[in-house]
Amino acid sequence: MHQGSSSDDAYWKANLSLIRNILIIWALVSFGFGILLRPLLSGIPVGGTDLGFWFAQQGSIIIFIILIFYYAIRMNAIDRKFGAEE
């Protein structure tokens, strides 16, 4: 086994928990707000239709972009914290 294995385990755990949080939001805005929960959001009007339609056609895409940049920024910090950067 290579050096720093226990810190690498902690690094991997930090990565996994970040990924889990990101995927929860990823699923919530697309499958959730965009499709399954749309009936619940039907009372919130957006430009001639409802919030669920907006999430399905625009909102989810915008949130996806934010999620990826958030992941990149957080992972850079985690890389540095655990001395895992290149």
Q: Does 6 bind another protein (CB under 8 A)?
A: no
User: Least Å distance between CB 36 and another protein?
Assistant: 7
Residues 6+ apart with CB under 8 A from 4: 83
List, in sequence order, every residue forming a beta bridge with 45; answer none if it has no partner: 50
**For 69, which DSSP code?**
H
- Binding residue for another protein (CB under 8 A) from 12, 17, 44, 81? 12
Q: Is 43:50 a contact under the CB 8 Å cutoff?
A: yes
- Binding residue for another protein (CB under 8 A) from 19, 24, 40, 44? 19
Residues 6+ apart with CB under 8 A from 37: 52
Within 22-81, which residues bind another protein (CB under 8 A)?
22-23, 26, 30-31, 34-36, 38, 46-50, 53-54, 56-58, 60-62, 64-65, 67-69, 71-72, 75-76, 79
Q: Does 17 bind another protein (CB under 8 A)?
A: no
